[in-house]
Structure 1
Amino acid sequence: MDTLTLDPEDVTASLKTVLHVGCGMADPAKLPADAFPADGWRELRLDIDPSVMPDIVASITDMSVLAEGAVDAVWSSHNLEHLRAHEVPLALSEFCRVLRPGGFALMTMPDLQRVAILVAQGLLEEPAYVSAAGPISPIDILYGYRPSIEGGNDFMAHRTGFTIGSLSAHMTRAGFVDVQVESDGRFALWARGVRPA
């Protein structure tokens, strides 16, 4: 299979490219505007589910359709927890590989350390917060959003999880530098890492 290269004649070629992995249905609001302002970035959408009509159908563990150093940034929102634990290093290595030197990956995912506090309090099925999809309980954060899974969307199942320390270690082993991982103080981790120049 040939690797994807960006067309230099493309009128948006002067914009930086962010690879939005696990993108779901198209929605510009899914890109954090503070990190990827619309006047400076173009979105390249990748998802394993062809029904969401991504630009690229691929798994985040094998993005060989993209050349090394093909993009300026990778944005991943709530994807890594859907992988099996042994697949996480593959995905993070792929994130790093497709970045140009000096490019960055920005990720968010559940903070299992914060969720564990509620579980330890016996609040496994009590709503922790309300999302656009509805109430989210610690059991949903741990194993995946139950209504989506019940509806047949097995892509929504969670198979692994992270704390600040574990995610930092995974990113460093994958080759990222300047790794920063922090909790939002609620139930999400935010991480940023750079491909070495």
Structure 2
Amino acid sequence: MSDDCAAARPRQLLHVGCGARGNRDLPACLRGPAWREIRLDIDPAVEPDIVASISDLHMVADASIDAIFSSHNLEHLDAFAVPRALAEFHRVLRADGYALITLPDLRAIALHIAADQLDAPLYQSPAGPIRPLDMLFGHQAALAAGHRHMAHRSGFTATTLGRSLLAAGFHEVRVHEGGHWDLWAVASMPATGAAVWDELARVMQ
């Protein structure tokens, strides 16, 4: 393939735990004609392109993905399965790719639990009020509706998330505390360009 053809190809975005089609959690910088979104989810009801757990991406070729977006997925895995999932993220990314990950910040949630606010709504989501209880164990309304895969089985602080990504082999990792009791992380590969950090700076704030 010529350099011109390679430059013209859409970048491959693996959107893991994508949820229903039209899910608006995909950051603007990962949308548009420059990207080809590949939707992956464990729930066939949301009609993903690939039905799979994020801990087993064997149907995705090595070094075939330019970016991974993972929003509130890793906490649904048992702690022992997290290294396997992150190793899979690393395996499928190209040498200049990156993973953008967001998930609950246990440290921020723990402050509310210590203040005896376990059941106090902190914010309104499209699914209803969200409490520390939901952030810690999974959204209770979704679990009550039978979506048992939505239970939370592990959790992270900024330190443990960064450490886990580095242990998976990522070249550089930056983790930031978000504004909604969440963490945001970018994990880069050895040839990831410096422009990526500028591109994602607004998302990470």
Q: TM-score, normalised by structure 2?
A: 0.87
Q: 1:161 to 1:147 in 2, by over 3 A?
A: same
- Corresponding residue for residue 195 of structure 2: none
* Partner amino acid, structure 2, of 1:121: A
SS at match of 1:169: helix
Q: Secondary structure at the match of 2:24?
A: helix
- 1:30 equivalent in structure 2: 25
State the identity as a percent: 49
TM-score, normalising length: structure 1: 0.90
Q: In the alignment, what sits opposite 1:50?
A: 44
Superposed, 1:11-30 pairs within 5 Å as 14-27=9-22, 29-30=24-25
Seen in structure 2, the aligned counterparts of structure 1 residues 37 and 25 have a Cα distance that, compared at 3 Å, is closer
The root-mean-square deviation of aligned C-alpha atoms, in Å, is 1.1
Distance 1:158 1:49 in 2: 16
Q: Distance in 2 between matches of 1:45 and 1:117?
A: 35
- Is the contact between residue 114 and residue 186 of structure 1 (CA under 8 Å) also seen in structure 2? no
How far apart, in 2, do the equivalents of 1:125 and 1:110 lie?
16
- 1:71 is aligned to 2:61: no
What is the CA deviation profile of residues 91-128 of structure 1, one whole-angstrom value per residue up to 9, with x for unaligned ones? Answer: 00001110000100001000010000000000000101
Structure 2 gaps of 5+ residues are 1-7, 192-205
> Which ranges in structure 1 are unaligned for 5 or more consecutive residues?
1-12
Aligned counterpart, 1:171: 165
**Aligned counterparts of 2:31 and 2:124: Cα–Cα separation in 1:** 27
- Deviation string 1:43-95 (CA, Å, 9 cap, x unpaired) is 00011111111101111111011110111000000000000000000000001
